[in-house]
Structure 1
Amino acid sequence: MRAAWQRARDLRSSKFLTDGFQRELALWNRERLEPSFVEEDWRARFEMDARMRRLEGAFLEELRAEVAEEAAAVPTDADEFIRWFEGLREAGPGQGDPLFPWLAAEASRDDLRWFFEQEAAGEAGFEDLVALTQVKLPTRPKLELARNYWDEMGHGTRKGMHGPMLEELVVTLAVNPVIENTVWESLCLANAMTAMATNRRYAWHSVGALGVIELTAPARSAMVAEGLKRIGLSPKEARYFTLHAVLDLKHSEDWNREALRPAVDADPHRATAMAEGALIRLRCGARCFDAYRRQLWS
């Protein structure tokens, strides 16, 4: 793990890992993905979008540069790649962070409210990221992403949809998850996930990034659910995290078998792209955990 001074130096030298840029990018993502109508002055919007896309691309290339050396050493044989990928659950950046046992056992209600506000504001919408990523994928990975999407959508019932569960918890905890109240590291995570899912040159990166969420989220979700129940929430009120603590275990097994393995079998070059995407996601998550601890433990 890099020393704290080295991470601080990297942040000082970055044009993109900054509060101002991440807020600008987050606002642009919110506006461009919102369903809207034809604008009379659509050319001006087009020019702004072109500028932001160039900046978004440079931002993502900076994140790629951070992980390129490690990803280049990842095996491209399907069996070995899956073993490496599954090893990220224990050895990946940000795994075993002390923030989550503390949330489970010690954090106050206000601490958990602040944590959840950051997470909700930085939530890019897993179902939307899956839907954007699956476009034109080969059949087996596409089918696995479709099954995952159907689970996220509650098999066609509103009460089973994961998005509304998150919204219900926002109401229960009385938080205000808006960009203005969110640390830039959380916005950076959402911006990176959105960038990979919306640009087809990063489609396989997105497959790796989404897969590593399914791989690593269950343990963290279980500890957050434990903390929420400790401060008095009912199992129903905490079900967003309780559900992900269980369901994502199966999602991860299926994703690795049906999306990652056949993708690498068909083209070993995809292993490197998916490794980069997974490592980008984990490094962005680790930055979040660092920022959360600085705020909550100060």
Structure 2
Amino acid sequence: MIDVFDDRRCELGEGPLWHPERGQLFWFDILNKRLMSNENGTPKSWQFDEYVSAAGWVSKTELLIASASMLFLFDLETTASRKLTDLEADNPVTRSNDGRADPQGGFWIGTMGFNAEPGAGSIYRYYKGELRKLFGDITITNAICFSPDGRTAYFADTHRQLLQQIALDEDGWPAGTPALFRDFSEEGLFPDGAVVDSQGFMWNAQWSAGRVARYAPDGGFAGEVCLPASQTTCPAFGGPDMQTLFVTSAALDLSGEPDGKTWSSPTGIRGQAEPRVIL
């Protein structure tokens, strides 16, 4: 069963985050520079001066938010902001895109070109005050997510249709080199945002396919949730029992009624609670 969780149409809905201490879903409309939420049926939004795309939670009232030029701390109650660090602030070509907190409390964030310039994107990790570049030469960074034990990270280049995995050390830093998780090119699929459930299975939204597909830890296909919106962008688990899948979508270049809305679906499978970001 698929329900409309929020019927506001996002030009580019992205970055859903279930805040475990607030019991509340947050997400972004990147191109309209908005953070969005729906609190007990009441739509809420916060407007910013530049593109915002992903967040992690720091406390009950504070989010770490990635924008086109920085990572900043945002207070949901007072709307006060405090810059934590620049993020390719000297590069006018790029903006932030997909991001997620890892189980060790680090925050991974990917960048991409405003016009998806080939190889313009990179992936960084912010951990205990340090921002470190991890990978470069990526066109559209996506699918940043983590195994329940915190020892494996996943990420994709949507443009190249490749989803990779890499081992992590005990502090959450990459150990070794990335390895292929799944090549979607033969299926004609484009991996977008992703999340890993409590069983270690990945749920991957696939741009233009109108679905979120589930994959086993070995990369094997394990099922799908089909949605009315074709441009699905990113999933997140939430709800009181962490068994509801929320999915953002994009109305970009489309005019259909379902496009750009935020969706929900019961799964019967428990997700992982998003870790707190350690500043």
Name the TM tier (shorter chain).
under 0.3
Q: Which has the higher strand share?
A: 2
TM-score normalised by structure 1 residue count: 0.24
TM-score normalised by structure 2 residue count: 0.25
Instruction: From the CA coordinates, give the structure whose radius of gyration is larger.
Output: 1
Q: Which has the higher contact order (CA 8 A, sep 6+)?
A: 1
Q: Which has the higher helix share?
A: 1
